[in-house]
Amino acid sequence: MPNVCFLGAGSGFAETICTDIMLVPGLAPGALRLVDIDAERLDLSRQVIQKIAEHLAPDWKIAAFTDRRQALPGCDYIINCIEVAGLQSVRADNDIPLKYGVKQCIGDTIGPGGLFKGLRTIPVWLDVLADCADLCPAAWVLNYTNPMSMLMLAATRVSHMRMVGLCHSVQGTTQQLAGYAGLPLAELEWECAGINHMAWFTTLAHQGRDLYPLLRDKARHDPQTWEQDPVRFDMMLHFGAFVTESSGHFSEYLPYYRKRPELIDQYCRAGYLGQTSFYADCWPQWRHKTDEGRRAILATRADIKTERSREYASYIIAARETNVPCIIHGNVPNSGLIENLPQDGIVEVACAVDRTGIHPTHYGSLPPVMAALCNANMSMFDLAATAAIERSKEAAIHALMLDPLTAAACCPAEIRQMGEEMFAAQQELLPGFA
C-alpha cells in the first residue's frame, strides 16, 4: 500500500504519472498526495486525478495540499516536478542572453537559461529534501525537475535521501532509432551511457548486426531521414554515436551549431529541432493547453488513458512493491560507474530496480571524444551547483563562462556583463546572492 507524494501537481506530468501508478498490475491500493503552491491549479489537477481514480482504481485515496509538510509524513515515494518562478523568468532567461548573441532553443537545463533556472530551483529543492529527511527519511525521491544534472549534483552534496533523477530521453530516443532503422523497438540491442541529455548509444545493433553503417548511410543520402534530426545525425557522423536528446535541445550542449546565423540555418529547424526562443515563446501556451486539457477531461470531452506511459516512476514503484524487477536509465552519482568521467559528478546509466532498491550498473569507459564532451558540460554543472549552494554570483558567472554555447558566442567580459544583467533582472527571485 504505497503512499506517493507528488510535488508540483500542476505539472503536465501529474496525471500521466499518477495514472501510470494506478495501472500497475498487482499493486495494492495506496494514497496519492498532491502538492502545489498554486491552489487553483492544484484543485484542477486533484479533480482530474480523482476522476481518473474513480475510472481506473477507485480504492486509491487522493488528497491535495498546498503545504508539503502536511503531505510528506509516512510517504514511501516523493515525485518531484516543481517549477520555481518559471513564468516570471522565462523571458529574462531567453531574451537577455539573446541580446548577447546566445540563441537558445529550450534553455532549461544548460546555457544561461538552464543556469538561472538552477539558481532559482536548487535552494527550494534542497529545502524539499530537508523536509523529506525530517518527515519521511526512508522514502525514495524520484526527481523529474530540470536542470536535472545540477539538481542531482547539489542534492548529493547536501542530502542523504535516497534518490534518482528520471528523464524520458532514453525511452524516446530508442523509439526514434527503431523508426530510423525500420525495425521493431523490441528487437533493438543497445547500450547507452553518459550524462542527462548527452548519453551515447555506444552499442546499437539488430540480431548482432551493427546498425550504425545503415544510419550513417541514411544520414548522408536520405534527406527525409536527415531532416528529422539534423544535429544528432551530424554528431553521429563526426563523433561516432547517437545521443539521447532532441536536435534542438542537444545543440545547446555544444559549441558548434548555434554561434552563427548560417549554422543555425544549416542545422536547425522549427520547433524542437532548434528554433531559437522556442521554449520561451511556447511554454506559456503549453501551460494553458495543459489546463484546458484537464478541463476537457472533467467535462468528459476527453478520454482517460488506460495504458502506462514510458515514464520510469511507476516501473520503479512496481519493482519495489511487487518485486517485478526492471531496468531504467537513471541519473545517479558516478561512483566508478563511468570510469573516465568525474567521479564526483552525476551520470546517466542503466540501473536495475527490485524490492531492495535502485542499483546503478557499471558501464566502464566511454570513447574518449564522447567523454570529453560530457566532461565539458559536467564542469559547468559543477560550478552551477556550487553557485546555488553557496549563493555565489562569482561561481555562477564562472559557470556561464564554461557553458559551451555561451562561450562559443561571447568573450569573458560579455559573459560577465550578461550574467550581471540576468542577476539584476531576477534579484527578487534569487535571495541570498550578494
- Assign 217 a pLDDT band (cuts: 50, 70, 90): very high
% of residues, the chain, pLDDT over 90:
97
**Percent over 70 (pLDDT), the chain:** 100
Where are the extended beta strands (E) located within 58-137? 61-65, 77-80
Calculated CA dihedral for residues 393, 399, 404, 405, nearest 10 degrees = -20
Average pLDDT over residues 120-129: 98
Measured at the alpha carbon of residue 146, what is the angle toward residues 140 and 152, in degrees to the nearest 5? 45
* Contacts made by residues 268-271, CB under 8 angstroms, sequence distance 24+: 268/105, 268/230, 268/231, 269/227, 269/230
pLDDT given for residue 427 in this prediction:
96
Mean pLDDT calculated for residue range 378-407: 98
pLDDT tens per residue across span 371-385: 999 999 999 999 999
Residue-wise pLDDT tens digits, 265-313: 999 999 999 999 999 999 999 999 999 999 999 998 888 889 999 999 9
For this structure, is 221 an active site residue? no
Report how far Cα 173 is from the mean position of its chain's Cα atoms. 14
Neighbours of 65 (CB within 10 A): 19
Whether the pLDDT of residue 358 is over 90: the answer is: yes
pLDDT tens readout for residues 333-353: 999 999 999 999 999 999 999
Q: What is the pLDDT of residues 42-61, one digit of tens each?
A: 999 999 999 999 999 999 99
Catalytic residue among 168, 238, 288, 362: 168
Please report, to the nearest 10 degrees, the dihedral formed by the alpha carbons of residues 291, 92, 259, 273 taken in order. Answer: 0
Average pLDDT over residues 199-213: 98
Distance CA 346, CA 328 (A): 16
Residue 414: per-residue pLDDT: 98
pLDDT interval class at 197 (50, 70, 90):
very high
Q: Give SS3 for 147.
A: coil
The answer as to whether 312 is a domain residue is no
Evaluate whether residue 55 is within a structural domain.
yes
How many domains does the structure of the chain reveal? 1
Is residue 176 situated within a structural domain?
A: no
pTM of the model: 0.98
Whether 288 is covered by a domain: the verdict is no
Q: What is the mean pLDDT of residues 197-206?
A: 98
- Domain containing 19 equals 3-89+110-165+300-307
Closest to 118 in 3D by CA, of 230, 196, 30, 52: 196
**Residue 270 covered by a domain:** no
Whether 401 is in a domain gets the answer no
Nearest residue to 76 (alpha-carbon basis) of 141, 21, 26:
141
Please report the pLDDT score of residue 1 as a whole number: 86
Angle between helices 393-402 and 412-425 (to 10 degrees): 130
Residue 301 is predicted with a pLDDT of 82
SS3 of 37, please?
A: coil
**Average pLDDT of span 75-104:** 97
Q: What is the DSSP string of 189-203?
A: EEEEEEETTEEEEEE
Residue 153 lies in a domain: yes
Per-residue confidence band for 434, with pLDDT thresholds at 50, 70 and 90 = confident
Q: Is residue 78 part of a domain?
A: yes
Q: What is the CATH number of the domain that holds 39?
A: 3.40.50.720
Evaluate if residue 36 carries a pLDDT over 80.
yes
pLDDT recorded at residue 289: 93
